[in-house]
Amino acid sequence: MVIVMGPEATETDIASVVSLVETAGGEAFVSRGVARTIVGLVGDVQQFGSLNLRSLPGVRDVIRISVPYKLVSRENHPERSVVRVGGVPIGPGTMTLIAGPCAVETPEQTLQAAQMAKAAGATLLRGGAFKPRTSPYAFQGLGEKGLRILADVREETGLPIVTEVVDAHDVELVASYADMLQIGTRNAQNFALLQAAGDVGKPVMLKRGMSGTIEEWLMAAEYVAQRGNLDIVLCERGIRTFEKATRNTLDISAVPVAQRLSHLPVIVDPSHSGGRRDLVLPLTKAAIAIGADGVIIDVHPHPETALCDGPQALVDGDLRELARLVRDLPPIFDRALTEAP
Ligand code: E4P
Ligand code: PEP
């Protein structure tokens, strides 16, 4: 951490900063320039945070050098992590396809979507039983009944389940069915939910907030990690921009940026990014080419009757192309499609 003193700072101001830092167990190195004095701090940054240094007389700025997300950062964990979900690895060297219906609607629809997903090469099944909807009048999901359907479909297909939890009170319930908990864009900074998810010992897939910076996303992951759970997968799902031609703007550069800043796997959701069926395969190509550790894709046997997000769901006809992409592209980029364990 570096403290920049203002030109008006007196020797007494500088001495007060040094003494406060030393009292907190740190070391302070004063460097006097022609116009400015800066003080370099060495020691526990969290400790310095509580000193309220910015409010001291003569202090102009306090600059953090190290990142604030310690546990998920690559600074302290240079090797990229692999997260295992029901035995399926997500992480470096592989490309994992997660697919399934946006929402669980009926046992038949969920099973058909899961079979479509599996035929395309998916090793994990997605499907929402608790749906975060903009409108309170829109389909909110089947709740626990939906979780039971997912568990039956897992039994039938062998695909482990990724499903969303939207309320901290439901975390234990959802975790009792799920192989990986999903925290969606709307809850990306719901800190009580993040902490509760970190407590239950299941992997967590954390989507980026729709207007969230990469640092906010990693700080959200830090909430989960701080509870002792480092099995976190980050998911870039598009951000809100001025552009209206797509549902969201896929921030493709967030993938390598997050992978360089954090050791956690980073996947992409091309369905919620583009919001349109015709964009899902091009965005999937981009995700694989840039090095995403996986993609999560909506599929539906009859999107015209879907209760949520039908326009972005892949249908049977698209699956051959999806299967080809996930089989042929990853090896070109030194990765293999993740296979069932
Ligand atoms: C999807 O999975 C979400 O629940 C969905 O994108 C919500 O969006 P909407 O409620 O605005 O349709
Ligand atoms: C979802 O994947 O079901 C979902 C709700 O996505 P997001 O949180 O990215 O909108």
Provide the pLDDT for residue 64: 87
283's tokens: 């965005």
DSSP 123: S
Provide the pLDDT for residue 47: 81
The response to whether residue 291 sits with its C-beta less than 6 Å from ligand 2 reads no
The response to whether residue 308 sits with its C-beta less than 6 Å from ligand 1 reads yes
pLDDT tens per residue, range 138-156: 999 999 999 999 999 999 9
For the cut 90, the answer to whether the pLDDT of residue 209 exceeds it is yes
The response to whether residue 179 sits with its C-beta less than 6 Å from ligand 1 reads no
Order of strands across the sheet with 2-5? 27-32, 37-42, 2-5, 59-63
Ligand 1 atom index nearest CA of 138: 10
Out of 24-33, 208-217, 292-301, least confident range = 24-33
CA 321 to centroid of ligand 2, rounded, Å: 23
- Per DSSP, helices labelled H in the chain are 11-23, 45-49, 107-119, 144-157, 171-177, 191-199, 214-226, 254-261, 270-274, 277-290, 316-332
CA 274 to centroid of ligand 1, rounded, Å: 13
Amino acid letter, residue 236: E
For the cut 90, the answer to whether the pLDDT of residue 35 exceeds it is no
Provide the pLDDT for residue 23: 92
For the cut 90, the answer to whether the pLDDT of residue 125 exceeds it is yes
Calculate what percentage of the chain has a pLDDT beyond 90: 92
Q: pTM of the entire structure?
A: 0.92
Provide the pLDDT for residue 76: 86
Mean per-residue pLDDT, 179-200: 98
Are the C-beta atoms of 125 and 197 separated by less than 8 Å?
A: no
C-alpha to C-alpha distance for 183 and 255, rounded to whole angstroms: 18
Provide the pLDDT for residue 51: 87
Q: Which phi and psi angles does 19 have, rounded to 5°?
A: -65, -40
CA 183 to centroid of ligand 1, rounded, Å: 13
C-alpha to C-alpha distance for 236 and 267, rounded to whole angstroms: 6
Provide the pLDDT for residue 251: 98
CA 143 to centroid of ligand 2, rounded, Å: 16
Alpha-carbon radius of gyration of the chain: 23
C-alpha to C-alpha distance for 124 and 62, rounded to whole angstroms: 45
pLDDT bracket for residue 112 (50, 70, 90): very high
C-alpha to C-alpha distance for 306 and 319, rounded to whole angstroms: 18
Provide the pLDDT for residue 91: 97
How many helices, marked H, and strands, marked E, lie in the chain? 11, 15
Are the C-beta atoms of 154 and 125 separated by less than 8 Å?
A: yes
pLDDT tens per residue, range 238-254: 999 999 999 999 999 99
pLDDT bracket for residue 217 (50, 70, 90): very high
Provide the pLDDT for residue 77: 94
In what helix (H) or strand (E) does residue 236 lie, and over which residues does it extend? strand 232-236
C-alpha to C-alpha distance for 307 and 296, rounded to whole angstroms: 19
Q: 227: helix, coil or strand? A: coil
For the cut 90, the answer to whether the pLDDT of residue 48 exceeds it is no
Q: 109: helix, coil or strand? A: helix
Provide the pLDDT for residue 46: 78
State how far Cα 102 lies from the chain centre: 17
174's tokens: 């959802």
Are the C-beta atoms of 300 and 108 separated by less than 8 Å?
A: no
The response to whether residue 137 sits with its C-beta less than 6 Å from ligand 1 reads no
pLDDT tens per residue, range 49-76: 888 999 999 999 999 888 889 999 999 8
Are the C-beta atoms of 126 and 104 separated by less than 8 Å?
A: no
pLDDT tens per residue, range 303-330: 999 999 999 999 999 999 999 999 999 9
Amino acid letter, residue 67: V
Mean per-residue pLDDT, 1-18: 95
Q: Which ligand is nearest to the CA of 210?
A: 2
Provide the pLDDT for residue 335: 93
Provide the pLDDT for residue 340: 87
pLDDT bracket for residue 258 (50, 70, 90): very high
- Residue 79, judged by CB atoms within 10 A of its CB (0-12, 13-18, 19+), counts as exposed
Provide the pLDDT for residue 176: 98
C-alpha to C-alpha distance for 180 and 200, rounded to whole angstroms: 11
